[in-house]
Each structure stands twice: as C-alpha cells, then as structure tokens.
A and B are shown apart, each in its own frame.
Chain A
Amino acid sequence: DQQVKQNSPSLSVQEGRISILNCDYTNSMFDYFLWYKKYPAEGPTFLISISSIKDKNEDGRFTVFLNKSAKHLSLHIVPSQPGDSAVYFCAASAYGNKLVFGAGTILRVKS
C-alpha cells in the first residue's frame, strides 16, 4: 500500500506559467514533507520542505502548500522555466524516521 502517492505521472507546462505538482499521503503520523528534483542520469537533489506545523513554505520560485485535513501537499513553481524540466519526488517522514517517497511526476516545461 503506497503511503505517498503522486497520481500524475507527467505534467506539461508552458514557460512562464505556473506548474503545480500534487502529492497525497495516507499516514497521519507523517510530520515532515519534502520535495526532491531529479535530472536524468543524476541523483535526486533536495528542493524544499515543510513541517506539519506549517501550511506554507516559500523559497524563491518554489512554494509548498500543506493541507493536513485533506492529507495533501502541492509544489508550485512560478514562473516555470525550461531548466525546471525534471522528475519531482514527494517524500514524507514520521518523527524523524525513514523517508517514504512517491512514484514521481515528470515535469516538462515548454519554451
């Protein structure tokens, strides 16, 4: 049973527009959430995170929103750039425990 789900395998967005990547989770014990970005032939790199005590965290063009009641988080990228084209993984942790990853969403930003 997947505890972290990314239901959209891929997303295509025009350069300059907003990209919204979604993630749902089932484990109510998760208290920390992260987004990783992965380019082909490279390892994932940490992008942004959010604690369950917050509902929003912003870092430049990247904002993560957390809706605990819906067990849903989203990553917003504004404005989207061609260099943002990558696979994005959502991950979650319960009380400093091991990370649980979603299956990933492929983002393509068209110029």
Chain B
Amino acid sequence: NAGVTQTPKFQVLKTGQSMTLQCAQDMNHNSMYWYRQDPGMGLRLIYYSASEGTTDKGEVPNGYNVSRLNKREFSLRLESAAPSQTSVYFCASSEQPYEQYFGPGTRLTVT
C-alpha cells in the first residue's frame, strides 16, 4: 500500500519550458488536490478534483492546468514555466472532506 506517490521528486526547468507532475493514489479516494508550498506561505491550493471527471480552481491556479485521468491519477501541468513557479508541489487525496493524505512532494526549480 504505497498511499500517494508523486513523480518526479526533483526537476529543474528553464523559463518557458513545460512539464507535467504526476500523482497517483491507491486508497480509492474520490478527492485529489494539488498544493504548492513556499516559505512563509504555508500550503496553497492550486487545483482540486472532488471526483473523477471534475476539476476546480483553488487559490492559486494561474499558470497551471490539471487532468483527472481516472480515479487514481491526477496530473498537474505547467505549460510555460516561470521563476515564480519555483516551489515544492504536493499532491493529496481524501475520502472525507477533512483528513487529506499527502505525497512526498516534487521540488521544482525554474531558472
């Protein structure tokens, strides 16, 4: 039982490049989330998916797109990376609306 897995663990991009962060969960949860963590800012919600086939914007969605591929997988795409997107990205899943289970994170640097 792996819980929530994320790939890659680390990534360095040049400004303007694109990439997709992958997330998968094996707990059969309906809801999945993408957060970014920045120093002094806590965890801020980028996008979430309440159930398979639905996605909604969170607090900081600009510059990102998401895909809920199936119940297990929820990907985050940066179409044209900017230095302001340098951050640690966490994926989470939950069944109940409160207790979320987090992946280990992806550390992204945009130069």
Is A63 engaged at the interface, CB distance under 8 Å to the other chain? no
Cβ-neighbour of B100 out of A6, A41, A99 (below 8 A):
A99
Q: A43-B90, A44-B90, A89-B43 are in contact. Are A99 and B98 (CB under 8 A)?
A: yes
Q: Shortest CB–CB separation between residue A87 and chain B, in angstroms?
A: 9
Give A86-111 interface residues, CB cut-off 8 Å to B: 89, 91, 93, 96-99, 101-104
Kindly state the interface size class of chain A when it binds its partner. Answer: 20 to 34
Question: Per-position contact with A for B31-74: 1 when CB-CB < 8 Å, else 0?
Answer: 00101000011111100100000000010000000000000000
Is A45 engaged at the interface, CB distance under 8 Å to the other chain? yes
A103-B38 Cα distance, complex, nearest whole Å: 9
Chain B positions within 8 Å of A9 at CB level: 40
Is B76 engaged at the interface, CB distance under 8 Å to the other chain? no
Q: A89-B43, A103-B40, A103-B42 are in contact. Are A45 and B102 (CB under 8 A)?
A: yes
Other CB < 8 Å A-B pairs besides A43-B4, A45-B102, A49-B98, 14 of them?
Answer: A4-B42, A41-B105, A42-B104, A43-B90, A43-B92, A44-B43, A46-B100, A93-B97, A96-B97, A97-B97, A98-B58, A99-B98, A99-B100, A101-B43
What are 13 residue pairs bridging A and B, where the CB atoms are less than 8 Å apart in the complex?
Answer: A6-B42, A32-B98, A41-B105, A42-B104, A43-B90, A43-B103, A43-B104, A44-B90, A46-B100, A46-B101, A91-B43, A99-B45, A101-B44
Chain A interface residues (CB < 8 Å from chain B): 4, 6, 9, 32, 34, 41-46, 49, 89, 91, 93, 96-99, 101-104
